[in-house]
């Protein structure tokens, strides 16, 4: 049993739900969060959704002195603080590298001096690049990727060397990572740094690779965050969701409360030290279907998704999780189907106003030649 748990980035979307999950189990929760304006708005106020029982320290994980205070009396750490936009990371390269890599390095250097009983680091499905594929003969393909020329020809699917279209299959943790963005590289760095240094200092350490997380409290006006938030903000502004490529990309959408559950199970598990776990549902949905479902749930069936035929460099075609390892070792069973998750988040969504910045964000990528 742990007494006080620190969540870095705990005022954000996933961290705040994790706080609720931990408080409900009787843990004391402390959060350190810089309240980034892109996520929390210019006022950088303590978010209303953050439970009053959470002790919030406002500051940056790279601030060594403050981090030392944040770690005082703490016996477990969830490291969630990160800059999170895949597209944005491709031009704010120094900022993403600094926040995510130096932030993690600062944390583990302090942990080397004052040990904790558990470290859980938030990693990402983005470390895989493309998911795992199989050809019609049953051969497994990993390390496949789409070249820029192919995207320019609007040929979206992943093919083998003989030109055969490959079928996506669930991606297990054993798939070799293939990072396609600065964000993905920084998440892989965070994960590896924690797994390499934690055990060296006797700290049981676990990395969780979150798939596409959705739910209440996602920063809807942040155009660099997940596709669910971006589509929601379009629809709430009476605009059609903008769907890249042909909309047939597959992703694994996991409800945020299930992610919080997986985090707690990782904290409490006794025989998972040094492990990496996928945190997804093990099912998948196309981006077009998601856009349609969201519009329907928000009473906007009239807003037919706009299939743009555009691509973004660094985007992958298909990736969804194989969650056998988390199921077997952590006893993780996602409780929410996509329908159940959307239904539960609907009340919150319907009350939101959001600034639709999707066009501005895509313009930023276009002018740098990062999409087409
Ligand atoms: N949301 C997803 O779909 C998803 C998928 C894979 C991985 N992840 C990972 O999960 C974690 C949480 O993501 P989220 O979706 O809740 O994002 P979020 O932006 O809502 O939360 C991140 C929080 O970290 C804070 N933060 C950022 N940089 C900081 C710094 N240098 N010091 C202190 N605080 C800082 C932000 O203010 C924010 O509150 C991140 O590590 C992210 O990479 C998220």
Closest CA to 216 of 20, 8, 355, 57: 20
Q: What is the pLDDT of residue 192?
A: 98
Which pair of tokens denotes residue 345? 């988040």
Domain 4-367, classified CATH 1.10.3720.10, yes or no: no
Q: Which one-letter DSSP state was computed for residue 47?
A: P
For ligand 1, the distance from its centroid to the CA atom of residue 98, given in whole angstroms, is 14
Q: What is the pLDDT of residue 328?
A: 97
State how far the Cα of 18 lies from the Cα of 109, in Å rounded to an integer: 24
pTM comes to 0.95
Tokens of 310: 């555009």
Distance CA 82, CA 71 (A): 18
Per domain, the residue ranges of the chain are 4-367
Using a 6 Å CB cutoff, which residues line ligand 1? 9, 11-15, 32-36, 39-40, 60-62, 80-84, 99, 103, 122, 124, 187, 210, 212-213, 219, 226
What sign results for the dihedral spanned by CA atoms 139, 140, 144, 146? positive
Which protein residue has the closest C-alpha to ligand 1 atom 18? 12
For 61, the 3-state DSSP assignment is coil
Dist. CA 165–CA 346, nearest whole Å:
37
What's the confidence (pLDDT) of residue 146? 93
* pLDDT for 372: 83
Q: How far, in Å, from the CA of 12 to the mean position of ligand 1?
A: 6
| Å from CA of 36 to ligand 1 middle | 10
Strand partners of residue 309: none
Radius of gyration of the chain (CA): 20
pLDDT value of position 356: 67
Mutate which of 6, 7, 14 for ligand 1? The one with the most ligand atoms within 8 Å of its CB, which is 14
Tokens of 162: 């003989």
List the pLDDT tens digit at each of the 372 positions of the chain.
798 999 999 999 999 999 999 999 999 999 999 999 999 999 999 999 999 999 999 999 999 999 999 999 999 999 999 999 888 999 999 999 999 999 999 999 999 998 899 999 999 999 999 999 999 999 999 989 999 999 999 999 999 989 999 999 999 999 999 998 999 999 999 999 999 999 999 999 999 999 999 999 998 877 777 888 889 888 988 999 999 999 999 999 999 999 999 999 999 999 899 999 999 999 999 999 999 999 999 899 999 999 999 998 888 999 999 999 999 999 999 999 999 999 998 888 888 876 766 677 777 777 777 778
Longest dimension (CA), the chain: 59
């Amino acid at each position: 049993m742990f007494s006080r748990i620190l969540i870095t980035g705990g005022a954000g979307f996933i961290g705040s739900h994790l706080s609720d999950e931990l408080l409900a189990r009787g843990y004391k929760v402390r959060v350190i969060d810089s309240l980034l304006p892109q996520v929390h708005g210019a006022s950088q106020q303590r978010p209303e959704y953050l439970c009053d029982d959470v002790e919030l320290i406002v500051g940056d994980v790279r601030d060594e002195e403050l981090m030392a205070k944040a770690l005082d009396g703490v016996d477990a750490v969830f490291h969630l603080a990160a800059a999170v936009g895949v597209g944005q990371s491709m031009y704010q390269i120094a900022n993403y590298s600094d926040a995510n890599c130096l932030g993690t390095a600062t944390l583990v250097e302090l942990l080397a001096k004052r040990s904790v009983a558990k470290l859980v680091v938030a990693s990402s499905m983005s470390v895989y690049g493309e998911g795992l594929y199989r050809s019609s003969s049953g051969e497994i393909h990993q390390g496949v990727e789409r070249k820029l020329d192919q995207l320019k020809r609007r040929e979206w699917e992943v093919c083998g060397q003989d030109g055969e279209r490959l079928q996506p299959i669930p991606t297990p943790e054993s798939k070799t990572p293939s990072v396609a963005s600065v964000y993905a590289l920084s998440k892989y760095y965070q994960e590896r740094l924690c797994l390499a240094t934690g055990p060296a200092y006797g700290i049981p350490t676990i990395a969780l690779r979150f798939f596409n997380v959705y739910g209440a409290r996602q920063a809807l006006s942040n155009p660099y965050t997940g596709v669910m938030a971006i589509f929601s903000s379009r629809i709430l502004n009476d605009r059609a969701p903008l769907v890249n490529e042909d909309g047939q990309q597959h992703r694994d959408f996991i409800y945020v409360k299930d992610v919080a559950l997986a985090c707690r199970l990782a904290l409490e598990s006794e025989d998972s030290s040094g492990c990496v776990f996928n945190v997804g549902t093990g099912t998948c949905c196309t981006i077009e279907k998601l856009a349609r479902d969201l519009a329907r749930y928000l009473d906007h069936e009239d807003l037919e998704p706009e299939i743009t035929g555009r691509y973004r460099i660094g985007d992958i075609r298909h990736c969804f999780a194989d969650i056998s390892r988390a199921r077997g070792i952590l006893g993780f069973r996602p409780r929410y189907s996509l329908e159940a998750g959307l239904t539960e988040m609907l009340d919150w969504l319907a009350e939101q106003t959001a600034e639709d910045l999707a066009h501005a964000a895509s313009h930023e990528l276009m002018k740098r030649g990062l999409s087409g």
